[in-house]
A = this chain, B = another copy of it.
Amino acid sequence: MKSFEKISQSRLKSYLKLTQKKYRQNERKFLVEGVHLVDEALKSEWEVECLIVNEEESGRFGEWENGRVKEMVKEEGIPMYECSKKEFTELSDTVTPQGIVAVVKIKEYTSQDFWKKLPKHAIIVVLDDVADPGNVGTIIRTCDWFGVDGVLLSKNSVELYNPKVLRSTMGSIFHLPIITEIDLGDMIQGGRDLGFEVITTVPEDGEPLDKFSFPERSIIIIGNEAHGVSQIVRKHAHKSVTITKYGKAESLNAAISCGIILNAWRDKKMSN
């Protein structure tokens, strides 16, 4: 059974702070939990500062070392620490932790770089104050499936590094550019200058999705679960689209709408 270096109390203490949003924002680091997410982080271009395992389960991760972890720990010199079960529980956000956490440095995408690198035909999804962590994570996962060019989160959307958001992305956070804390007014202006059209999704009275034609460069806005798209976006939108309703539900969930729209965009793009 492989054992790893015991984590120092001062190091542990600094990582425990990352369970709080304000420290994640200041330190520009966050915690990623569980075998699948840690694996996705290691495979990605994001920088992993270290791995921490529960000492009672370190044997498992000694095994796991034969694969990717061994490679990373050895070749890239990523430190691997162990801590007690009790300490691990404090680091973890889940009820039944899987025994491994990675400390990941936030990858800073600058807005300017992002816009510059977009292809001629592009689609971007903007979350306009989306509040539910599960929705945000699922939208990112869905955008990843459909190969969206990037996701932008408005200032009042839920924080990207919230553990529930991370879990719901299923690792997709590491697959596509995501820019946080955007100002919606600036985004609309910046997008327009590059020939993007802003499309809002509305529960009624928009153009029906099956007849909708997507511009070459589209910005799809997903509004807040309760209040829809914000005033400034509504004012500047070029088009609005509606998924036709046949039953009695008042609305569709934000992530479901997003998935249906992206699938339609792909269908139409491919048939052109």
Contacts and interface: CB of A to CB of B under 8 A. Distances in A.
Contacts of A175: 247-249
A186 to B, nearest CB: 27
A264 B260 CA distance: 9
A147 B256 contact: no
Given A256-B259, A263-B209, A263-B263, A251 B148 contact: no
Copies of this chain, whole number = 2
A246 B266 contact: yes
Interface string A241-260: 00111111111110111011
Contacts of A248: 144, 172, 175-176
Contact of A253 (B138, B260, B263, B264): B138
Interface of A: 134, 138, 141-148, 170-172, 175-176, 209-210, 243-253, 255-257, 259-260, 263-264, 266-267, 270-271
Given A138-B253, A142-B256, A243-B263, 9 more contacts: A141-B249, A144-B249, A145-B247, A146-B246, A147-B246, A147-B247, A209-B263, A253-B259, A259-B260
